[in-house]
Amino acid sequence: MPFEPRDPNFDAKVRDSFAAQSMMTTLGASITELTPGRVVIAYERLENFCQQHGFMHAGVATTIVDSACGYAALSLAPAGHDVLTAEFKVNFLAPSSGERFIAIGQVIRPGRTLTVCEGEVRQIDDGANRLVAKMQATMMTGEMGS
Residues forming the site for its own copies (CB under 8 A): 17-18, 20-23, 25-26, 47-52, 57-60, 62-64, 66-67, 84-95, 108-109, 113-114, 116, 118, 131, 134, 136, 138, 140
49 burial level (CB within 10 Å; 0-12, 13-18, 19+): middle
Dihedrals phi, psi of 86, to nearest 5 degrees: -80, -45
Min dist CB 54 to its own copies, Å, is 8
The DSSP element (H or E) to which 82 belongs, if any, is: strand 81-92
For 36, 71, 98, the CA distances from 11, given in Å and listed in that order, are 8, 10, 30
DSSP, res 55: S
Min dist CB 51 to its own copies, Å, is 5
Min dist CB 21 to its own copies, Å, is 5
Min dist CB 49 to its own copies, Å, is 5
Q: Pick from 70, 52, 76, 93: which is nearest to 139 by CA? A: 70
Strands 30-35 and 100-109: unpaired
